[in-house]
Structure formats: C-alpha cells, structure tokens
Amino acid sequence: MAAVKACNVLITGANRGLGLEMVKQLSEKSCPKQHIFATCRDPDGPKSEALRELAKKHPSVITIIRLDADDPSSVKESANKVGSLLGNNGLNLLVNNAGIVANGTIQTSRVEDMKNTFNTNVIGPLLIIREYLPFLKMAAKASGTPGMSCNKAAVINISTVAGSMTRMPSIYNHFPTLPYGVSKAGFNMLTVLAAEEFKADEILCMALHPGWVKTELGGDEATLEPKESVAGMLRVIGSLTEQHHGGFLDYAGETVTC
Ligand code: NDP
C-alpha cells in the first residue's frame, strides 16, 4: 500500500493516544517537505509533555498548535496561525482525531454527556473543517493532478463502529455508550455531507475506524496497541482514491457499513 506523502498534515488531539502515535509514526518516516501541525488543547500543560518531547526530536517537521475543538475562537485562531505558516501550498491532509466518550443508555444517559459528546465529536469537527477549508481548497488546486488522494487534499474523520447503525446494536450490551454512539453517528453523517459538498473541489472526505485500541478512551481490555492501529490507518490513508470518497473503512481497510 502507498505511504502518506502529504506535505502539510494537521492532526487534532495529538498530545496522547492515537493522535500522538500518528504524529510519531509520520515524523519517523517523514518524506521531504512534510510538515505536521500537531494540535492539542493545552500545548504547555502536563498532558502534552510527550508531544513536546517528540517535537523537540523533529523540530523541522512538527509544529505544535493550540486547538480546542469545544471553543470556536480557538479553532479560528489555530487556522489563522497555521494559514500564516502554510504559504501557497495549502493543507493536504486534515485528520479529525480528537474525541471524547461518555457512557449511558436510554435510561441513564445524562443531558450533559449528550451535549458534551455532540459538541466535541460533531460541532468541533464541523468548525475545524469549515475554518481549514480555504487551505484544503488551495492544496487541491496547487496539486495540479486530477482525482483525489490524501497527498492532494483530504479530510479523514476518525470515527468508530459505535457510530454505525448496523454495528452498534451488536456491541451495545458490552459498550453501553449511547451519548458517544449517537454523536459518532452524527459525525458519520457530517462526513457523508462534507464529501457531497467538496466533490467538485476534489477534496477527499471519509471516515476511519481505528479498531479497539488500548488508549485512555479504549481502555486496558482493548485488543490493539496504538502502534498497530495507527500503522494500519496510515496504510489505509495512503491508499485512498476518489473511490473511497464519502466512505467508511477500518484500520485494516475493511468497509464499515454506516
Ligand atoms: P484518547 O482519550 O486517548 O485521546 C483523545 C484525544 O482527544 C486527546 O488528545 C484529547 O486531548 C483530545 N481531545 C478531547 N477533547 C478535545 C477537545 N475538545 N479539543 C481538542 N482535543 C480534544 O482517545 P483515542 O486516542 O483512543 O481516540 C482518538 C479518536 O479515535 C477519537 O475520536 C475516538 O472516538 C476514536 N476511536 C478510538 C477507539 C479506541 O478504541 N481507542 C475506538 C474507536 C474510535 P486532552 O489530553 O486535552 O484531553
């Protein structure tokens, strides 16, 4: 499978879990001219220490940017900052990875959790896509090649089978995470509609399920290590074409039905 050779990449929630692992793997194998904007809520805080260390190792490849998906002004400020650093090449690859989980069922889900998951997992990515769209369009135009790929211009939304109408019912007993599942179903719809809107601009949009991964969100019982999940996701991302536009795949490249 092809590698991710996108020049300018932006990843949200890059200070820990899958986002941090993605920055790590990309920076270890970074191709010439590749630059990674690793965004997180609190670049100077204790939870971003591992990312700061990684950025120190690859100072010409990684720039840490503050971005809180819950805060529209922070999203706007991040886009202004990244825009000033991008030049005329634009942004090739936007990975909406930041996300939160909340447990609950019809009978127990708290209103607060419904609001918070929708805010972070749906409204945040919507604002992020909107603010970064001019730079994605710029990259699509600058590429001068027909078709779609992550090296040209792409939005990859890190979703989950918990947001799949067909898959969630069979795991719901084991994972009673209604607020999370409902928000990620909304995120999947956002992906499909973004794909529809950006078809003419040749900006590839799709959703990716990382598998069940040992992170703070996935928990210790999960079956995959972040290293394996991210290696798989990067293989998939690198191989995407216009055939995958609006689609939903897992880290192994298997189709997930919405
Ligand atoms: P983690 O809990 O390990 O990391 C979540 C990341 O999202 C952290 O960097 C966190 O930052 C960030 N984040 C949370 N809220 C915001 C916000 N408002 N603004 C910016 N960043 C925020 O989770 P994973 O790495 O496991 O999850 C990454 C993605 O993968 C999520 O979208 C999740 O839904 C998806 N996923 C994960 C699975 C798994 O098994 N792990 C399975 C299926 C999907 P901070 O440190 O500031 O909290």
Cβ of 160 closer than 6 Å to ligand 1, yes or no, is: yes
d(CA 62, CA 55): 5
Ligand 1 pocket member 158 (CB < 6 A):
yes
The pick from 215, 220, 225, 237 for probing ligand 1's pocket by mutation, whose C-beta has the most ligand atoms within 8 angstroms, reads 215
Q: 236 C-alpha to center of ligand 1: Å?
A: 20
Phi, psi for 206 (deg, rounded to 5): -160, 165
| ipTM for the whole complex | 0.99
Query: With a 6 A CB cut-off, is 226 part of the ligand 1 pocket?
Result: no
The half-sphere exposure of 126 on its side-chain side, counting CA atoms within 13 A, is: 17
Whether the model pTM is above 0.80: yes
Pocket test for ligand 1, best of 18, 66, 117, 228 (most atoms within 8 A of CB): 18
With both helix axes pointing from N to C terminus, report the angle between 72-86 and 124-143 in degrees, rounded to the nearest 10.
Answer: 20
Q: Is 257 exposed, middle or buried (0-12, 13-18, 19+ CB in 10 A)?
A: exposed
Q: What is the pLDDT of residues 201-244, one digit of tens each?
A: 999 999 999 999 999 999 999 999 999 999 999 999 999 999 99
pLDDT digits (tens, 9 = 90+) for 34-43: 999 999 999 9
Average pLDDT over residues 15-34: 94
105-141 pLDDT per residue, tens? 999 999 999 999 999 999 999 999 999 999 999 999 9
Length of the chain: 258
| pLDDT tens string 151-203 | 999 999 999 999 999 999 999 999 999 999 999 999 999 999 999 999 999 99
Angle at 222 between CA 186 and CA 233, to 5 degrees: 60
